[in-house]
Amino acid sequence: GQQVMQIPQYQHVQEGEDFTTYCNSSTTLSNIQWYKQRPGGHPVFLIQLVKSGEVKKQKRLTFQFGEAKKNSSLHITATQTTDVGTYFCAGPTGNQFYFGTGTSLTVIP
């Protein structure tokens, strides 16, 4: 079945440091989405990537979709305490929508 792995599972950074999470799918994805879940909250949509090799930016966040459409990354520049949470990639396969294993980010002030 569909597997979407993310690394690392946990990341602790000092405030101001950069952070990157990587997402790898066992199958080619038509599109990939990224979500953020704050502690105690629910996943909230951040962005969607559709094209091979696509790069999108949202302020300090940079999202990339791999050329083969099987991997993606999220990079945060100069982390802030408000970036704390778990970041998930997700994508459709068939009629199902699978989430990656998630990366939990802790930002130390």
Partner 1 sequence: DTAVSQTPKYLVTQMGNDKSIKCEQNLGHDTMYWYKQDSKKFLKIMFSYNNKELIINETVPNRFSPKSPDKAHLNLHINSLELGDSAVYFCASSQGGGRYSPLHFGNGTRLTVT
Among 11, 24, 37, 106, binds partner 1 (CB under 8 A): 37
82 conformational bin, left if phi > 0, alpha if psi -120 to 50, beta if neither: alpha
Among 19, 98, 105, 107, binds partner 1 (CB under 8 A): 98
Q: How far apart are CA 2 and CA 24, in angstroms?
A: 11
Among 14, 42, 59, 109, binds partner 1 (CB under 8 A): 42
Report the alpha-carbon angle 93-61-58, nearest 5: 90
Provide the minimum distance between the beta carbon of 16 and partner 1 in the complex, in angstroms, as a whole number. 25
Of 16-24, 30-38, 57-65, 73-81, which segment contacts partner 1 by CB under 8 A? 30-38
- Residue 49: CB atoms within 10 Å: 22
Could you say whether residue 50 binds partner 1 (CB under 8 A)? yes
Could you say whether residue 58 binds partner 1 (CB under 8 A)? no
- Pairing, β 96-99 against β 85-93: antiparallel
**Cβ-based nearer residue to partner 1, 27 or 48:** 48
